[in-house]
Every structure is written in structure tokens, then in C-alpha cells.
Amino acid sequence: MTDEGALRAVLWDLDGTLADSRAYHWRSWQEALEAVGASVTEARFEASFGQRNDAILSAWLGADADPDLILRVGKDKEARYRRMVQTEGIAPLPGAAEWVATLHDQGWRQAIASSAPRLNVEVMHRALGFGDRIQAVVAAEDVTRGKPEPDVFLAAAQRLAVPPDRCVVVEDAGAGIEAARRAGMASIGVGPGSTSAADLVVISLADLPADAFQLLLETRHG
């Protein structure tokens, strides 16, 4: 039997945490909305980070928007986004590839836990080249409720067979930090976003101390 005390996992958000996909998302949203005669301000786009498309489009197009239109615009946007990633490429953010490799070597289990559609996550995962260092992927289709609800992180922990209190979430959005809190997990906030509620906040993954992940778990468990 595995000693639960020896288990530990890192649950990675993807967009904005492991890779800087902001420009692709902004361009693809603009193009998809323009195709149906709609638009969105950059401020509202920024405020949508970490949320699922159904919630985003309901807010942008109105609560009475046709569900078929919401579905169609969302699918069009994601298809445009994937084409951009595939044709223009995407690179890990500073420190991301190094941390994924280091944590793997140290025996941490790792998963991507994203609000993005599975096809997007798979395309990005391949482009980033993390391979089998990431053992599980949870995407929007795998849960009923998106962030700030904890479902995506709880599902990732379950797939890794690691208790929630032995998991550290890494996020760049406030909704993700709140989801980690509701899941009973430690959290690291990355970047200039609204992550001040995280247990540890850094501008870049490259700024994290070498013992950051282990110290978060030790602090929680005394």
C-alpha cells in the first residue's frame, strides 16, 4: 500500500501559467466575435481569464443569447486558436519547462488542470513538449462546473491518486486561486494577475525558490 504522506502533486493551470497564450486568445476571440457582428473590450477579455467559454459568452452576449450561437462562437474561436498555436508555435513561459522537469525528477506527480477545451489542451501540450512528465490532463469537458468551483482540481487530484491536501496548484488567475482554496489545496499565483489570495505569489516561475513546493506542503502539515 502506498503511503499517502509520501504522495505529492502539482496541478498546473495551462494558459498564462505554463505558456503565454494571451495574444492568441485575444486575436481568436476578436475574429470569432466579429464573424457574428459582436465585439468585446480588452478589459472584459482580461476579466474572463480562467473561466469556461459558456460562462464567458453568456456574459459577453447576454443572458438571453441563443445557446446555439454561444456554442457556435465558442467552437469557432477555439478552432481559430488551435490553428494559431499549430502554425505560429508556442513556447513555455520562463521557468515552466525547468520546473516540470525538476518536479518530475523529484517524484512529484503532475497534471494539467485547465478550463480550456480538451482539443486546445492537447494541442498546447504537444507544442510545449512536456511528454510523460505530465501524467494527467483535465479539461473543460471533464467537469460540470468551471473555476472558481474546485471541480477541475479535485478531478486532477483523483486521477493522480493524490489527496487534495497533498496538492499544490499553480495559477495565474484569481478564479483558479479561489478554486484551489475551495479544493483545500495550497496555491502559487504567477504573473501580474489577480492572484494575491494565493499562499505564495511570484511574477515568474523562474523566481520560485528551489524548495517552494515542498515548503508549502510542510507548512500545511506542520
State how far the Cα of 165 lies from the Cα of 187, in Å rounded to an integer: 11
Return all residues near 75 (Cβ < 8 A) that are at least 6 apart.
Answer: none
Name which of 205, 172, 175, 166 is nearest 189 in CA terms: 172
40 neighbors 138 (Cβ within 8 angstroms): no
pLDDT tens over the chain, length 222 residues: 344 557 999 999 998 899 988 899 999 999 999 999 999 999 999 888 768 888 899 999 988 899 999 999 999 999 999 999 999 999 899 999 999 999 999 999 999 999 888 999 999 999 999 999 999 999 999 999 989 999 999 999 999 999 999 999 999 999 999 999 999 999 999 988 789 999 999 999 999 999 999 999 998 876
Please give the Cα distance from 147 to 151 (Å, whole number): 7
Q: How many CB atoms lie within 10 A of CB 97?
A: 18
Smallest Cα–Cα separation from 123: which of 94, 172, 90, 99?
Answer: 90
With beta carbons less than 8 A apart as the criterion, state whether 107 and 139 touch: no
Q: Please give the distance of CA 199 from its chain centroid, rounded to a whole number.
A: 17
CA distances from 120 to 13, 94, 114, 126 (A): 13, 21, 10, 10
pLDDT at 2: 45
Q: For residues 28 and 80, is the Cβ–Cβ distance under 8 A?
A: yes
All domains of the chain, ordered by start, with CATH? 4-19+91-220 (3.40.50.1000), 22-88 (1.10.150.240)
Residue 4 has a pLDDT of 53
The partner residues of 190 in beta bridges, in order of sequence, read 202
